[in-house]
Amino acid sequence: MDGGFHHVSVLLEEVLDLLRPAPGGKFLDGTIGGAGHAKALLSRVGPEGCVYGIDQDPAALKVAEERLGEVGNPFELRLGNFAEVLPSWDLPPLDGILLDLGVSSHQLDTAERGFSFRLEGPLDMRMGDVGPSAATLVNELPERELVDILFKYGEERQSRAIVRAMIKRREDKPFRTTRELAETIERVIPYFKAGGIHPATRTFQALRIAVNRELEVLEQVLPAALAKLAPGGRLAVISFHSLEDRIVKTVFRDMAKTCVCPPKFPMCVCGKVSTAKVITTKPVEASEDEIRVNPRSRSAKLRVAERI
Domains of the chain: 12-105+214-307 (3.40.50.150), 129-211 (1.10.150.170)
Provide mean pLDDT across the span 199-209: 92
Condensed to tens digits (0 to 9), the pLDDT of residues 241-274 reads 899 999 999 999 999 998 888 888 888 888 888 9
CB 41 within 8 A of CB 27: yes
In this prediction the pTM is 0.86
Highest mean pLDDT among 53-57, 106-110, 193-197, 301-305 belongs to 301-305
Q: Where are the beta strands (DSSP E) in 1-49?
A: 26-29
CA distance 177 to 175: 6
User: Phi and psi at residue 228, in whole multiples of 5°?
Assistant: -85, -10
**Residue 40, number of CB atoms within 10 A of its CB:** 18
**Residue 139, number of CB atoms within 10 A of its CB:** 17
Residue 2 has pLDDT above 70, yes or no: no
CA distance 234 to 240: 20
**What's the pLDDT score for residue 113?**
60
CA distance 245 to 248: 5
Type and span of the H or E element at 285 = strand 284-285
**What's the pLDDT score for residue 114?**
55
Least Cα distance to 101 among 13, 222, 185 occurs for 222
**Residue 18, number of CB atoms within 10 A of its CB:** 19
User: pLDDT band at 111, cuts 50/70/90?
Assistant: low
Indicate the burial class of 258 (C-beta count within 10 angstroms; 0-12, 13-18, 19 or more): exposed
